[in-house]
Amino acid sequence: MPHVVTIDGPSGSGKGTVASRVAARLGWRNLDSGALYRLVGLAAERAGIAPDDVPALQRLARNMDAVFRDGHVFLDNIDVTDAIRTEQAGNAASRIAAIPQVRDELLAWQRGYAREPGLIAEGRDMGTVVFPDAEVKIFLTASPRERAERRYKQLKEKGFNVTMESLLGEIAERDKRDTERAVAPLKPAVGAFILDSSGMDVDEVVERVLAHVRERLPAV
């Protein structure tokens, strides 16, 4: 079996950037599980599917034409890399992720992404549900204020018109929804290495994560 390292955490914790850099350093694959739920949300919006139409969302998750290639995400052969990174897409993903039938449809896809030589899987339930037997589990977090500031900077750089107040409110709402949902709630996996990245830059976080991985997997 290939090595699997899971990195879970709340919105804005930096897990996506950290996971991609750690995967690149190790020469492993990188699974951005949140992108799958964002894709379902975007595809549903474009198809005019209501957020509460569970059978339609289930079919959409089963059949959507999604491709991850060279750092870009394609839906029906259209590059949607930026479209799925908006706050609207993130909030839609959080709502859709609470639907058990959609999660079931995406579970096999996620597990099938684990291939040699290894996988860095990031999301909200990678260590608790998707890869419960992963050799290394990490829970990356940061204060709500710091997470909002990071998102604010990212979105401003991409030209989105956002405010700190709105981002803080959306992060609080998403945290509540993700931690309190009945199916696969956001929480640290048993035995996870919990890393609070408040006050740390991304390079420092990457080095801390790599050090922990190599401590647990000396041959890597």
pLDDT-above-90 percentage for the chain: 71
What is the average per-residue pLDDT within 48-71? 90
Contacting residues for 45 by C-beta, under 8 A, at least 6 apart: 92
Whether the model clears a pTM of 0.95, i.e. scores above it, the answer is no
Please write the tens of the pLDDT for every residue from 23-40. 999 999 999 998 999 999
What is the average per-residue pLDDT within 43-49? 91
d(CA 8, CA 11): 10
- Amino acid symbol at 144: P
- The per-residue pLDDT for 44 is 92
Please name which of 40, 187, 26 lies closest in space to residue 120, comparing C-alpha atoms: 26
Give yes or no for a contact between 212 and 7, defined as CB atoms under 8 angstroms apart.
no
- The per-residue pLDDT for 42 is 92
d(CA 148, CA 171): 7
Look at residue 201 and tell me whether its pLDDT is greater than 90. yes
Q: Could you give the domains of the chain?
A: 3-216 (3.40.50.300)
Q: Which of 32-46, 54-68, 160-174, 188-202 has maximum average pLDDT?
A: 188-202
d(CA 157, CA 34): 21
d(CA 213, CA 215): 5
Task: Give, in degrees to the nearest 5, the angle at Cα 166 between 183 and 164.
Answer: 120
- The per-residue pLDDT for 131 is 97
- The per-residue pLDDT for 88 is 83
Torsion, CA 16, CA 201, CA 137, CA 117, rounded to 10: 60
Look at residue 150 and tell me whether its pLDDT is greater than 80. yes
Look at residue 72 and tell me whether its pLDDT is greater than 90. no
pLDDT-above-70 percentage for the chain: 100
CA distances from 190 to 62, 119, 128, 133 (A): 30, 19, 8, 11
Look at residue 218 and tell me whether its pLDDT is greater than 90. yes
What is the average per-residue pLDDT within 69-85? 88
191 class by beta-carbon count within 10 Å (0-12 exposed, 13-18 middle, 19+ buried): exposed
For 200, phi and psi rounded to 5 degrees? -110, 145
pLDDT band at 182 (very low <50, low <70, confident <90, very high): confident
Please name which of 126, 131, 38, 51 lies closest in space to residue 83, comparing C-alpha atoms: 38
What is the average per-residue pLDDT within 191-215? 97
